[in-house]
Amino acid sequence: MKLKIVLIIIAVIFMSSCTLIPCSSTAGLTDLDNKVSKKELIGNYELDDWTKKLIPELKNSNSKLSIKKNGQIEITNIPTAVFNDFLHGERIIDKANGTWKFPQKSDANEIITKMIFSLESESNNTVSFWKIFSQNGKLTIFIEFGDPDNCTAARFIKI
């Protein structure tokens, strides 16, 4: 009897994990049919309405993302939580700079990024994979952050 209860508890824990159940953060996004080209990816992006409605840290944000052809990235007015979950709070990074590239030997629509930003005279950096989707025919950069079970992501749509 005790073994049965333990097995039920374990099953409930696994079934309630966001890593096994698709996250709502990809709602309205569609996979791209072909691998995105560098030319298509380059440009300016802004947060989409879904992100502003559902992510408290980004509710009133006017964050912008710029992907440049020389392999550089710039993000302005972004909360610290997007880059580093340990930097909680309402702090906003005025500008973060970094680099991007497509992963080698991969058909996935994603880019590898390395972002560097300063916070309280301390330099921070982070490396991550950003996924690329389509939303209403426009490229959308999908940046997951925080606990994966919370299904949080910043979604930047091309403007």
pLDDT digits (tens, 9 = 90+) for 4-32: 776 677 666 655 555 555 667 888 898 98
Is the predicted pLDDT of residue 90 greater than 90, yes or no? no
Sign, Cα dihedral of 94, 47, 64, 154: positive
Per the CB < 8 A criterion, the answer to whether 103 and 114 are in contact is no
Q: Return d(Cα 123, Cα 95) in angstroms, integer.
A: 12
Residue 141 neighbours by CB distance under 10 Å: 24
List the domains of the chain with CATH numbers. Answer: 2-158 (2.40.128)
pLDDT value for 11: 63
Mean pLDDT for the chain overall: 79
- How is residue 133 written in tokens? 């989707």
Nearest to 144 by CA among 51, 16, 38: 51
Question: Strands 43-47 and 92-101: what pairing?
Answer: unpaired
Q: Return d(Cα 45, Cα 47) in angstroms, integer.
A: 7
